[in-house]
A = this chain, B = another copy of it.
Amino acid sequence: MIKTVNGGVCAAKGFTAGGVHCGIRKNRTKKDLAMIFSETPASCAAVYTTNLVKGAPLTVTKRHISDGRARAVICNSGNANTCNSDGIEIAEKMSELTAEALNIDPEDVVIASTGVIGQKLDIEPIANGIPKLVESLSENGGRDAAEAIMTTDTRVKESAVEFTIGGKTCRIGGMAKGSGMIHPNMATMLVFITTDAAISSEMLELALKNDISGTFNMVSIDGDTSTNDMVTVLANGEAGNPEITSDGEDFAEFMRALNSVTVCLCRMIAGDGEGATKMLECTVSGADDLDCARVVAKSVICSSLLKSAMFGSDANWGRVLCAIGYSGADVNVEKIDVSFKSAAGEITVCKNGAGVDFSEDEAKKILLESEIEILVGLNSGTESASAWGCDLTYDYVKINGDYRT
């Protein structure tokens, strides 16, 4: 049984967190520096952006956690520390200052940054902020940390669940940021997950890699794969379950719990896409293979034309067909069914690749809701997949037409 609980990254035993305003951002009411701390050593796994242009923090983090261990996360918003000649140096300095304040090894620190690319990151406010941040660490600090990693996000994104392994109650919780430049590929936006389940770093990495291909890699806000995407999981074993070191029922239960948290964060990220008024979920069923289902779902979610139609609550299903057609997936167009679904009902708009008569009024009512499901039936095989995105709005253009200034 997997049960939803509160607490975000502090839901699991032995983790504290905090978030403060240190001065990277000019707005004093906006927190810009977050920390997560595990009181005991923890297994750590991470996945990173596939963008060739990589933020300096990713390079440093990758090296630090190469031994599969970490104890702390330091993350700033307001500046991505990317495409800067002194980027690595600043990222190393951030981890040294963090390690010093926490009395741990700098190699046990995960570093992340998000914000503008190509502007030098000043270490001064961070150096001043870290002592204050360490002092603020608490078991109730998950929300402060989640606030401090937000950029254009309008809502805090946290999720946590409770589950049982070997008779022991375990928890897994996470926080995420991600609003624009979201189109992850083999990695994603910034996501930090903690768990008190005992699991080896090898199995933790396997769990994470298996999970993201159907979760964070299926989210797209704007088709732009960021330079700083990263998902990390820390597992400190405080739950006392027999350590998961191989495949089996315990690992399967851990994967299910992890998936509950990641899917929840995916939906939150999609629904809070830059300028979004609606969360879109495309579920493709009846595919010949999983890859086909994923490619089709993601292509639909990425179509600027469909995203604009959803903004206007226009049941323009031809754009769904069009996006399936150019997805690259090998599908039989003449078997495709399409429906729109929301809290207001469900309506079929296309059967066997051609339009069917439907009530435009009914369709409008369904599409005026804030969470829309686009159901695509390929009627060929048995595989299915979902992808998450949002509508394209005036505000997306507004936010990104003038982001730096």
Residue ranges of A at the interface with B (Cβ–Cβ < 8 Å): 50-54, 80, 82-85, 116-119, 180-181, 183, 185, 222-227, 302-305, 308-309, 311-312, 314, 316-319, 321-326, 330-331, 333, 350, 353-355, 360, 392-394, 396-405
A312 contact from B53, B185, B317, B400, Cβ within 8 A: B400
Q: Are B118 and A350 in contact (CB under 8 A)?
A: yes
Q: Given the known A-B contacts A317-B118, A318-B83, A322-B117, are A305 and B400 also in contact in the complex, defined by CB atoms under 8 Å?
A: yes
Docked pose: A222 CA to B396 CA in angstroms: 14
Closest chain-B Cβ to A258's Cβ sits at a distance in Å of 26
Q: Given the known A-B contacts A314-B403, A323-B224, A394-B394, are A84 and B355 also in contact in the complex, defined by CB atoms under 8 Å?
A: yes
CB contacts (< 8 Å) of A398 on chain B: these are 394
A223 contact from B302, B309, B311, Cβ within 8 A: B302
Q: Are A50 and B326 in contact (CB under 8 A)?
A: yes
Closest chain-B Cβ to A353's Cβ sits at a distance in Å of 6
Interface centre among A180, A223, A393, by most chain B C-beta atoms within 10 angstroms, is: A223
A355 contact from B119, B222, B224, B403, Cβ within 8 A: B119
Q: Are B393 and A397 in contact (CB under 8 A)?
A: yes
Closest chain-B Cβ to A335's Cβ sits at a distance in Å of 12
Closest chain-B Cβ to A311's Cβ sits at a distance in Å of 5
CB contacts (< 8 Å) of A317 on chain B: these are 118
Docked pose: A319 CA to B403 CA in angstroms: 11
CB contacts (< 8 Å) of A392 on chain B: these are 397, 400
CB contacts (< 8 Å) of A330 on chain B: these are 52
- A305: nearest residue on chain B (CB-CB)? B224
Docked pose: A242 CA to B396 CA in angstroms: 56
Q: Given the known A-B contacts A325-B227, A326-B50, A393-B397, are A354 and B319 also in contact in the complex, defined by CB atoms under 8 Å?
A: no
Q: Are B321 and A83 in contact (CB under 8 A)?
A: yes
Docked pose: A35 CA to B212 CA in angstroms: 52
**Interface CB pairs A-B, < 8 A, 9:** A51-B326, A117-B321, A118-B317, A222-B305, A223-B303, A308-B397, A308-B401, A311-B397, A396-B397
Q: Given the known A-B contacts A53-B322, A355-B83, are A308 and B118 also in contact in the complex, defined by CB atoms under 8 Å?
A: no
- A222-B304, A224-B322 known; 12 new pairs, CB 8 Å cut-off, are A82-B318, A84-B355, A118-B321, A119-B355, A183-B326, A185-B326, A222-B305, A308-B397, A311-B397, A316-B404, A393-B397, A397-B397
